[in-house]
Structure 1
């Protein structure tokens, strides 16, 4: 069984929690990072000594650095990180958009991803580590006026650039790009769409690939 260490943002629910659950089942140690301390503590309690709750703000570089330092102090190193935290918008399109909400979203979906990569990279270099980014089907096609989609286009473009950068130390980067997933991201349940577990399996598939294989993107869509 693996004893590798994985840091996950947006870990308190949805895709992040499902990925943590599957990773722990496969022997990984997980660092759970999110704002919701209560949810993180409950999840960490479920996993026992295989997990560490790391409450913090993804839009704060120093918060992420401190969390990662605490996790690495426990595990001895970092093998992978999953920049999964993200948010959507209540208003669609450009004219109907809320400028303050746009700023919050860019803080999470763009800067939050950059901060996760910046904070984890020194540790990943030491172990030829793996970076996972949560992209989206919305980052692979054009949607009328979608500012959210544009933030995911950034993730896809940056992920490709990061793959090239990480080659220098034998590292890899994978963008996990799902279509609609049944999570709290949506106000109404979506039982016929992808489940968080589907995305978690894709993440672990990428992490488990032979070191000779760089899985640059996994694109998942619901059959319905």
Structure 2
């Protein structure tokens, strides 16, 4: 009986590298939760924020899967320099989560501190543009990539004491829609996730560190957690190539709009 001839060896296909996700405002809240959620899916995450000590804490927990990057999104020159010189293996960016943002103050416009306006405009609008401007051209050139902008239900309506904040988040919505049109046909996806009430450091920052005022925002309500929004963000990013989740509005059960809250007391 003739011995069977050995079967030809199959060529081993190289494993595709894990996708690279860039998350801004990654040191806390929704940003940090997004870092954790993408890591759980096997991605490598560039975690960008101003508070570098918190970023190092992320790296100590997750090792080489996280690249901490000290970055102020308001500084365009710094954004271009840092994101234009990411280490080998951390570029190109496959998914950008524009999360960095804040609210400052909750007084009528005529009583506002103009410095608060500047912080919100520079972070929520210019910061998003700066980072998108640094990452999006490469995505368009490659014909692939996904930008997910974190907006707010405040971008869809206005409430007393939130005039400028609501305006900045409305700008995020307009920028997102326009960006989607600008890249149409390129293979790049553009999405927006708009959270309602989420319990993070958001209110504490808004009230300039007043913990009592911040806690009162969530009194009698079970708000969303940062992880809830991160789950939505990763779901948006995980759709098939031909599917774009254009925008998602996410509320806790007891919210139906800005100021429309059922407090269970």
**8 Å contact kept, 1:31–1:51:** yes
Which residue number in structure 1 is paired with residue 101 of structure 2?
Answer: 86
**8 Å contact kept, 1:91–1:98:** no
Q: Per-residue deviation at 1:46? A: 1.2
**Worse-superposed segment, 152-161 or 42-51:** 42-51
Higher share in helix: 1
1:166 to 2:179 alignment: no
**8 Å contact kept, 1:139–1:152:** yes
Which residue number in structure 1 is paired with residue 110 of structure 2?
Answer: 95
Which residue number in structure 1 is paired with residue 193 of structure 2?
Answer: 176
TM-align CA RMSD: 1.7
**8 Å contact kept, 1:31–1:71:** no
| Residue from 154, 159, 163 that aligns with 1:143 | 159
Task: Pick the structure with greater CA Rg.
Answer: 2
- 1:113-163 deviations in Å (ceiling 9; x for gaps): 100110111232225100011100100112236210110000011101111
1:23 to 2:38 alignment: yes
**8 Å contact kept, 1:3–1:28:** yes
| Residue from 233, 239, 245 that aligns with 1:209 | 239
CA distance, structure 2, for counterparts of residue 194 and residue 12 of structure 1: 18
| Residue from 53, 77, 86 that aligns with 2:92 | 77
Q: Judging changes above 3 Å, is the alpha-carbon distance between structure 1 residues 159 and 72 closer, same or farther for their aligned structure 2 residues?
A: farther
Q: Per-residue deviation at 1:166? A: 1.9
1:152 to 2:169 alignment: yes
CA distance, structure 2, for counterparts of residue 28 and residue 178 of structure 1: 23
CA distance, structure 2, for counterparts of residue 2 and residue 25 of structure 1: 15
Q: Per-residue deviation at 1:77? A: 1.7
**Worse-superposed segment, 64-73 or 132-141:** 64-73
Q: Per-residue deviation at 1:93? A: 2.5
| Residue from 146, 165, 178 that aligns with 1:130 | 146
CA distance, structure 2, for counterparts of residue 118 and residue 84 of structure 1: 15
Structure 1 counterpart SS, 2:227: helix
Q: Unpaired segments of 5 or more residues in structure 1? A: none
What TM-score results when the alignment is normalised by the length of structure 1? 0.94
How many residues matched?
Answer: 224
Equivalent residues in 2 for 1:4-15 (5 A)? 4-15=19-30
1:115 to 2:130 alignment: yes
CA distance, structure 2, for counterparts of residue 108 and residue 141 of structure 1: 20
Q: Per-residue deviation at 1:2? A: 7.1
